[in-house]
């Protein structure tokens, strides 16, 4: 048995059949982590003791024949912006170094209740600001298909840990691309659910009106299992939906014959790498051969999406990051003996000045500006209006089409450092993904082949709360192509 070929589905079967114990599985993952981490740096913190404790509990349930979740005994990792009670949670930022949350995110609790075993906290761009995981204050994560390249971001650690078989699935968050881009860059499956489908409670906010927590897995089937466990109403998140959660896995294996699939014209614009375009077109042809009716569709408002995104997001960020003030928790100059502040203002200025990285500061500056009186109407208020137009464009497109498709990233994974000093180039990596967040709809990145040995993803978008449709199509495509089987050589 090749360990790296195991999925949640296949490993779960072995566990229930007692051909494998949870601790064997956990140990195999921990061994892999200690072997690969020096190269990849997917983890910020490995919680070995806690993992073994949880593994024992999961084994007891299996031994008593009480296994009732496909996630029971399955090793996972959380993006380090998911609060985990008693386990340091840093958002990959110096300003939260040493912060131990007094509570756990709703999703963390749900997954633990399903019996999944957390191996630790995964690297990301600090506060999820970025598209390469280079903005982590604790060093970048490397792409397992080419360690000189980025894994995408911001949930880079989450994607790499899955791609490298250090865990079987991970949690991520997607505010503008942060699940889909790293999934596309690492040949994994990443789903950004509908806004409100998965609770945000306990997940450090980036842009509250866009943040969508979701899973990263090796396969579409695994994605369905994890999403079923994560989704659902949370009374502690007033923006979470009360709609019932379907059994996503039950939709897999049904065909997509006759489905109308729109190809987004604006996603094949200038700046799309020709090789990426080629694999994407090939993937669309595959959908056609699976019986889908393909048509080109244009949503003119998409032109404004990135601009709107980069007003709304920093505005919300500037407010959401205000709580990191050196007073209550995390980094404070007050604690640094050599640099005691003279007054309150200096505590704020120096704690935040030293604690935040360049990208957080950039976004705080832009957002503060956009919300200032005299500018609010021209920027934030106008952005909200355009956002509504984008949302309506999608809603009316879905009156005609079952699904929309396009590429995830305009380019293959780029070199570490290549865009690090050019924020605008970095922001453009997200051009095909941010509109989805603005509209609040769900979208998946599913492996669709390789460009010069580097993975690419096909983006499948669906109507609000139609995750099952996306999964059904993604599964059909995945089973026909099987790119997920191409594991990185490590």
Partner 1 sequence: MTEFTPVIGLEIHLQLKTRSKMFCASLNGSDGADPNTNICEVCTGQPGSLPVANREAIEKAILMGLALNCEIAEYSKFDRKNYFYPDLPKGYQISQFDKPICGKGEVRFEVGGKECRVSITRAHLEEDAGKLIHPVNSDYSLVDLNRAGTPLLETVTEPDFTSPEQAKAFLQHLRTLARYLGVSDADMEKGQLRCDANISMRPHGSSALPNYKVEVKNMNSFKAVEEALTYEIERQSAELAEGRKLATETRGWSDEKKVTLSQRSKEGSDDYRYFPEPDLPVLHFTREFVETIRSRLPELPAAKRARLISEYNLPEKLAGQLVEDKFLAEYFEAVVSELSEWLSVAGEREPEKLKALVKEAANWCAGIFTELLNAAGIAAGESKVTPENFAELLKMIEKSEVSKTAAKAVFAEMFETGEDPSNIVEEKGLKQVSDAGAIEAVFDKVMAGNPKWVADYKAGKTQVAGSFIGAVMKETKGKANPQVVNEILKKKLE
Q: Smallest distance, Å, CB 346 to partner 1?
A: 12
Q: Reduce the secondary structure of the chain to three states and give it as a string.
A: CCHHHCCHHHHHHHHHCCCCCHHHHHHHHHHHHHHHHHHHCCEEEECHHHHHHHHHHHHHHHHCCCCCCCCCCCEEEEECCECECCECCCCCCHHHCCCCCCCCCHHHHHHHHCCCEEEEEECCCHHHCCCCCCCCCCCCCCECCECCECCCCCCHHHHHHHHCCCCCEEEEEECCCCCHHHHHHCCCEEEECCCCCECCCCECCCCCCCCEEEEEECCHHHHHHHHHHHECCCCCCCCCCCCCCCCHHHHCCCCCCCCEEEEEHHHHCCCCCHHHHHHHHHHHHHHHHCCCEEEEECCHHHHHHHHHHHHHHHHHHHHHHHHCCCCCCCCCHHHCHHHCCCCHHHHHHHHHHHHCCHHHHHHHHHHHHHHCCCCCHHHHHHHHHHHHHHHHHHHHHHHHCCEEEEECCCCCCCECCCCCCCHHHHHHCCCCCHHHHHHCCCEEEEEEEEECCEEEEEEEECCCCCHHHHHHHHHHHHHHHCHHHCCCCC
Instruction: Draw the binding track, 350-389, toward partner 1 (x: CB under 8 A; -: no contact).
Output: ------------------x--xxx--x---x---------
**Is residue 403 a contact residue for partner 1 (CB under 8 A)?**
no
Segment 203 to 222, residues that bind partner 1, using CB under 8 A: 203-205, 207-209
**Catalytic status, residue 154:** yes
**Catalytic status, residue 79:** yes
Residue 107 vs 217, nearer CB to partner 1: 107
**Catalytic status, residue 93:** no
Segment 114 to 133, residues that bind partner 1, using CB under 8 A: none
Q: Smallest distance, Å, CB 152 to partner 1?
A: 23
The single residue among 70, 101, 120, 151 that binds partner 1, judged by CB under 8 A, is 101
- Window of 7-15, 197-205, 397-405, 478-486 that interacts with partner 1 by CB under 8 A: 197-205
**Is residue 202 a contact residue for partner 1 (CB under 8 A)?**
yes
Residue 383 vs 397, nearer CB to partner 1: 383
Residue 348 vs 432, nearer CB to partner 1: 348
Residue 78 vs 469, nearer CB to partner 1: 78
Q: Smallest distance, Å, CB 165 to partner 1?
A: 29
**Is residue 315 a contact residue for partner 1 (CB under 8 A)?**
yes
**Is residue 242 a contact residue for partner 1 (CB under 8 A)?**
no
**Is residue 200 a contact residue for partner 1 (CB under 8 A)?**
yes
Residue 293 vs 382, nearer CB to partner 1: 382
Question: Which of 136, 178, 241, 332 is the catalytic position?
Answer: 178
Q: Smallest distance, Å, CB 91 to partner 1?
A: 7
Residue 86 vs 300, nearer CB to partner 1: 86
* Catalytic machinery residues: 79, 154, 178
**What residue ranges bind partner 1 (CB under 8 A)?**
81-83, 89, 91, 96, 99, 101-103, 105, 200-205, 207-209, 235-239, 315-316, 318-319, 321-325, 327-329, 344, 348, 368, 371-373, 376, 380
């Amino acid at each position: 048995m090749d360990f790296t070929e195991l999925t949640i589905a296949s490993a779960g079967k072995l566990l229930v059949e007692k051909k494998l114990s949870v601790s064997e599985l956990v140990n195999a993952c921990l061994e892999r982590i200690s072997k690969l981490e020096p190269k990849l740096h997917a983890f910020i913190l490995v919680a070995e003791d806690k993992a073994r404790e949880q593994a024992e509990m999961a084994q007891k349930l299996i031994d008593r024949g009480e296994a009732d979740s496909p996630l029971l005994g399955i090793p996972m990792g959380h993006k380090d912006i998911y609060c985990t009670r008693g386990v340091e949670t840093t958002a990959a930022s110096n300003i939260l170094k040493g912060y131990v949350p007094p509570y756990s995110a709703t999703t963390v609790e749900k997954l633990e209740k399903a019996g999944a075993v957390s191996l630790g906290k995964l690297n990301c761009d600090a506060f999820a600001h970025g598209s390469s995981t280079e903005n982590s204050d604790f060093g970048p994560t490397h792409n397992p298909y080419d360690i000189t390249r980025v894994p995408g971001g911001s949930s880079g650690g989450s994607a790499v840990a899955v791609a490298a078989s250090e865990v079987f699935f991970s949690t991520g968050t997607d505010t503008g691309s942060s699940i889909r881009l790293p999934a596309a860059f690492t040949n994994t499956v990443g789903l950004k659910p509908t806004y409100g489908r998965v609770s945000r409670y306990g997940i450090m906010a980036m842009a509250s009106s866009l943040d969508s927590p979701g899973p990263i897995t090796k396969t579409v089937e695994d994605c369905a299992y994890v999403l079923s466990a994560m989704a659902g109403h949370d009374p502690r998140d007033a923006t979470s939906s009360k709609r019932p959660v379907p059994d996503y896995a039950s939709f897999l294996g049904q065909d997509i014959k006759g489905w109308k699939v729109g190809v987004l014209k604006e996603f094949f614009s200038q700046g799309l790498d020709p090789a990426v375009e080629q694999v994407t077109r090939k993937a669309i042809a595959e959908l056609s051969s699976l019986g889908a009716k393909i048509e080109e569709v244009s949503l003119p408002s998409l032109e404004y999406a990135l601009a709107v995104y980069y007003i709304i997001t920093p505005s919300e960020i500037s407010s959401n990051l205000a709580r990191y003030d050196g007073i209550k928790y995390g980094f404070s100059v007050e604690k640094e003996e050599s640099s005691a502040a003279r007054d309150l203002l200096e505590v704020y200025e120096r704690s935040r000045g030293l604690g935040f990285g360049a990208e957080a500061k950039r976004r705080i500056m832009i957002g503060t500006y956009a919300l200032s009186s005299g500018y609010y109407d021209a920027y934030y208020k106008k952005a909200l209006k355009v956002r509504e137009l984008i949302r309506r464009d999608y809603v009316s497109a879905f009156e005609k089409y079952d699904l929309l498709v396009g590429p995830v990233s305009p380019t293959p994974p780029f070199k570490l450092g290549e865009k690090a000093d050019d924020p605008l180039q970095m922001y453009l990596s997200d051009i095909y993904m941010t509109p989805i967040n603005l509209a609040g709809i769900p979208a998946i990145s599913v492996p669709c082949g390789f460009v010069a040995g580097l993975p690419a993803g096909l983006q499948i978008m669906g109507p609000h709360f139609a995750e099952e449709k996306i999964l059904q199509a993604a599964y059909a495509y995945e089973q026909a192509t099987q790119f997920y089987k191409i594991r990185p050589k490590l």
